[in-house]
Chain A
């Protein structure tokens, strides 16, 4: 086969691959969005037809019959709180692990790193029992603590490697100037590790925002449940109102997509760092 024909063939294959994977990535979402404006009848009649009119009735119904806004609020509180706690706890620990020699350091680091290998689903039952026994079952605080802990190993390794890359001299100068450990850490060290902290914040927030299994098992009341669980309700609540179901789905996925598109460089970089260092 002559060279130019081979190049043409390769290029065609590439274009087809990109087109196919673009289609399967977008078509389901576009269909959900479009259908959220259709009537039930239109949905049953044809999947491809455009809605006869763009009205937001489905959205109104979805908001009326389900506590979706409350779930939004819960998700926001839990993801934000677990991100702040995770950052605070992990950065303090990673700092002393990166800077000081002490007894047990190697052992503790080994334990944290081996916990990276554990599928969190394996710990489902004991974590459930522990949360019940310390009376944190079905509480926001319980879920915050579990989400904070789930992100510990990854956060620890990302942040520790950031601290290791920051030169010691600045802190030493601060100590000589009579700065205490606390002040040095919060005023001098933390700001220097800003990019590492934001990487971890993105990973932790996304993890908590999307987490389903522990949120399902550790909660039972509407007051506490998070957005991913809302969908569990919707499939039964709306079994005959497809418009409202599709509207609810759109409301659940759209914010994630928009935020991802706005912050995509940061998110992409965080995920890569998390994947390779974690």
Chain B
């Protein structure tokens, strides 16, 4: 009786999660993988084409190549510079001088408001006519500046990048948590040897939090494989396709052009890129698999 009860309980307790998981992860994933080998369009077009979608995407579609290029550049930039900025700020705050928590809060604020709001804020901050950036530059340079940051091909990419690259509050709190978990007595010997704070940061603190840094790099890099609304609400991939990335191109291909098989090929590319990213970052930071 007891063990029959137990069996029922296991089934009952797992069922809701498993149904939801199958419906919104497992089945979609199977659909993505399988139909990436199909030509599937609205109006009942559905037949297998082998590797044609992949072949087309990687050799004959300049938009696809541009969006892969942008996605990779942004992933690398975010994994390196964004984490670097966050780590430097965390090392400064980790000395817990008076008022350090205020800075932690301030750095987090752009990360807690919805990124849709952040996008619209930036659209205004970089507005050509009344934006904060042009007004600031005009008053410094003493002549009116009317650069259209988001839509000028020379500045579009960097302007879009600025919406996420510098706002590393999330990295700051992760690295800080790592730094605070180092026991104080580790520093004693170094202090007696007269090591400066700077030397201790580089040679003691950073190596000790290597797994935490690895986690931070994974979070920052893979976030770029999901980035959608900050681009969608500002440049929408333009001018031309200069700021197009894979999620946005996938959205356009599937929901605007109803070219489902081709869109799901991009889904597969995104999934594989994500797995490779995590794999290599794990290797580079020699992270213990079980810590993940």
Residues of chain A at the chain B interface (Cβ within 8 Å) = 6-7, 10, 14, 17-18, 21-22, 24-29, 31-32, 43-44, 46-48, 88-90, 92-93, 95-97, 100, 102, 108, 111-112, 115, 117-130, 145-146, 148-150, 152, 156, 180-182, 185, 206, 209-210, 212-213, 216-217, 227-229, 231-232, 234-235, 242, 245-246, 249, 252-253, 256-257, 260-261, 264, 267-268, 271-272, 275-276
Contact residues of A: prevailing secondary structure: helix
Q: Which chain B residues lie closer than 8 Å to A253 at the CB level?
A: 113-114, 117, 121
Residues of chain B at the chain A interface (Cβ within 8 Å) = 5-7, 9-10, 12-14, 16-18, 20-21, 23-29, 31-32, 85, 88-89, 92, 103-110, 112-117, 119-125, 129-132, 135-136, 139, 166-167, 169-170, 173-174, 177, 196-198, 212, 215-216, 219, 222, 225-226, 228-229, 232-233, 246-247, 250-251, 254-255, 260, 263-264, 266-268, 270-271, 274-275, 278, 291
Partner of B21, one of A95, A111, A213, A227: A111
Q: Which chain A residues lie closer than 8 Å to B17 at the CB level?
A: 89-90, 92-93, 152, 156
8 contacts between A and B (CB under 8 A): A26-B109, A32-B121, A96-B14, A125-B254, A126-B264, A152-B20, A181-B6, A276-B212
- Contact (Cβ within 8 A) B114 A227: yes
Q: Which chain B residues lie closer than 8 Å to A22 at the CB level?
A: 103, 106-107
A248 to chain B: closest residue by CB: B120
Given the contacts A29-B109, A252-B114, A261-B105, A89 and B25 also touching, CB distance less than 8 Å: no
Q: Which chain A residues lie closer than 8 Å to B103 at the CB level?
A: 18, 22
- Contact (Cβ within 8 A) A89 B20: yes
Partner of A145, one of B24, B106, B108, B291: B24
A268 to chain B: closest residue by CB: B173
- Contact (Cβ within 8 A) B130 A44: yes
Cα of A275 to Cα of B270 in the assembled complex, Å: 21
Q: Which chain A residues lie closer than 8 Å to B16 at the CB level?
A: 88-89, 92-93
Partner of A228, one of B110, B117, B196, B274: B117
Q: Which chain B residues lie closer than 8 Å to A121 at the CB level?
A: 225-226, 228, 246-247, 250-251, 267, 270
Within the complex, what minimum Cβ distance (angstroms) separates B266 from chain A?
Answer: 8
Given the contacts A93-B17, A119-B270, A276-B174, A127 and B24 also touching, CB distance less than 8 Å: yes
- Contact (Cβ within 8 A) A264 B123: no
Q: Which chain B residues lie closer than 8 Å to A27 at the CB level?
A: 132
Cα of A245 to Cα of B104 in the assembled complex, Å: 29
Cα of A150 to Cα of B109 in the assembled complex, Å: 23
- Contact (Cβ within 8 A) B166 A21: yes
Q: Which chain A residues lie closer than 8 Å to B166 at the CB level?
A: 21, 24
Cα of A122 to Cα of B174 in the assembled complex, Å: 26
Partner of A181, one of B9, B122, B131, B267: B9
- Contact (Cβ within 8 A) B225 A96: no
A31 to chain B: closest residue by CB: B132
B230 to chain A: closest residue by CB: A212
Within the complex, what minimum Cβ distance (angstroms) separates B26 from chain A?
Answer: 7
Partner of A123, one of B20, B28, B125: B28
Q: Which chain B residues lie closer than 8 Å to A150 at the CB level?
A: 24
Partner of A267, one of B112, B225, B232, B247: B112
Q: Which chain A residues lie closer than 8 Å to B120 at the CB level?
A: 231, 234-235, 245, 249
Q: Which chain B residues lie closer than 8 Å to A148 at the CB level?
A: 20
Within the complex, what minimum Cβ distance (angstroms) separates B1 from chain A?
Answer: 12
Q: Which chain B residues lie closer than 8 Å to A24 at the CB level?
A: 166
- Contact (Cβ within 8 A) A117 B278: yes
Cα of A228 to Cα of B120 in the assembled complex, Å: 10
Partner of A95, one of B13, B18, B246: B13
Q: Which chain A residues lie closer than 8 Å to B167 at the CB level?
A: 25
Within the complex, what minimum Cβ distance (angstroms) separates B74 from chain A?
Answer: 13
User: Which of B109, B117, B173, B174 has the most CB atoms of chain A within a 10 A radius of its CB?
Assistant: B117
